[in-house]
Structure 1
């Protein structure tokens, strides 16, 4: 399947299991080596497309992050072939973070994650806060002109103009990905734009998790299953 493919990979929930706290996620040596092998096998056509910032991905992935294509902050920032592109960081993100921190102080277990071009409110450890967290995020997004992005037990505000589909289309216009079949693997609603993009470009989406409503064509049950499949493809 991967002979003439370009491979786009979400990170959290796809290559690694989700953690209660984003800072607890690590990329083990086996995952780093797997990404390096895949990138070699595909002639440089491997990308990690994540809601995390590129700075976070660099810290987690180590040296292999410099070898593969990266798109961070839900398609707002990119680095590939030695070229980086980042938007302006608006001061409204700091205002959003302040309002989210005030909210998180009311709920034990709520966590605010500040990113390069976004700010996320995690409520995995206090699911009872979900309704109020989502309502707050909608209000803040409206007040400050920010994009709202829902994920698994979290909600994020970010700069407008990017998503994972934008990232896929951007990379597929360039060699060596241009003219190949895009394959996108992801695990939640933030990845649906990526599934839509690869479908439009004649490729396929693979959803990670339980069957449900998705634009992906195929299913893998867990990050462990994703890595096992990628291991077979890299052999």
Structure 2
């Protein structure tokens, strides 16, 4: 199936329409709902965002989920009032289902302890570089230390020699070592899992995200004839619609919850 067409002008992706009552809405977190911060723990949740998400979830009959590279625990630390919202963490390695059940990630191998320590030694040479342990995943961030990129890339490639069941996943100024090889879950499989069950089933899927890791989800919603919404101007992308930045995403959500809410 082909995706729902977007009316492009001179190759520029258009703004998405207002949310409709038959949507199943999937939202990335960092770089989408929230502006980036020097450290993932330093993100700021703007006033009214959690309220708007809860309100929109109610308008969509519960068919709203967060889909993030963060762990579920980290998502809940950021959005304390959204623990009842379905979510996928670690790019789909763990999920909170609509009924509250959780799917947990695989146990990290013992060798990851040493890899983590070695990565920290690399990061010390680049002030602002961050090594983040996320269960079985290890994220290497260089947003605040661009010079660390090549060192982190070389380190990740070398680490695969002692982590044979792992792969390297690229992102926006981050690399992530994660288990499962090429067949491991991603944001696209997370969306598929939600779409196979109520209240998401038989709705039009809409995914909003900014990162390279969101491309899996864009491809899936396009196949469902849904709406794929890129945040920012990264190219190339499978997305068919665009919002310029997280502030625009938050304003889009706020408009949907104001007055009469979603539009039929």
For the criterion TM > 0.5, the same-fold answer is yes
SS in structure 1 of the partner of residue 228 of structure 2: strand
SS in structure 1 of the partner of residue 160 of structure 2: helix
Partners of 1:141 and 1:25 in 2: CA distance: 30
Partners of 1:27 and 1:209 in 2: CA distance: 19
In structure 1, runs of 5+ residues without a counterpart are none
Number of the residue aligned with 2:206: 183
Number of the residue aligned with 1:152: 172
Number of the residue aligned with 2:225: 202
Number of the residue aligned with 1:98: 117
Partners of 1:102 and 1:9 in 2: CA distance: 34
Offset of 1:121 from its aligned partner?
A: 1.0
Offset of 1:23 from its aligned partner?
A: 1.0
Number of the residue aligned with 1:76: 93
Offset of 1:162 from its aligned partner?
A: 1.2
Offset of 1:210 from its aligned partner?
A: 1.6
**Cα deviation 1:16-57 (Å, max 9, x = unaligned):** 101111110132341110110011000100100000000001
The alignment covers a number of residue pairs equal to 234
Instruction: Indicate which of 65, 68, 74 corresponds to 1:56.
Output: 74
Number of the residue aligned with 1:218: 241
Query: Does residue 151 of structure 2 align to residue 128 of structure 1?
Result: no
* Cα RMSD after superposing both structures: 1.4
**Cα deviation 1:89-148 (Å, max 9, x = unaligned):** 222433331221121122222111111231111112221121121121122134302121
Number of the residue aligned with 1:13: 31
Partners of 1:142 and 1:31 in 2: CA distance: 43
Cα pair 1:93 1:158 within 8 Å, conserved: no
Number of the residue aligned with 1:110: 129
SS in structure 1 of the partner of residue 79 of structure 2: helix
Higher-helix-fraction structure = 1
Number of the residue aligned with 1:42: 60
Offset of 1:211 from its aligned partner?
A: 5.2
Could you list the runs of 4 or more consecutive aligned residues of structure 1 that deviate by over 6 angstroms after TM superposition? none
Number of the residue aligned with 1:119: 138
Partners of 2:200 and 2:34 in 1: CA distance: 25
Partners of 1:90 and 1:117 in 2: CA distance: 4
Greater Rg over alpha carbons, structure: 2
Offset of 1:233 from its aligned partner?
A: 2.0
Greater alpha carbon shift after TM alignment, 161-170 vs 148-157? 148-157
Partners of 1:117 and 1:2 in 2: CA distance: 37
Partners of 1:144 and 1:2 in 2: CA distance: 45
**Cα deviation 1:61-88 (Å, max 9, x = unaligned):** 0022x22111000100001211111132
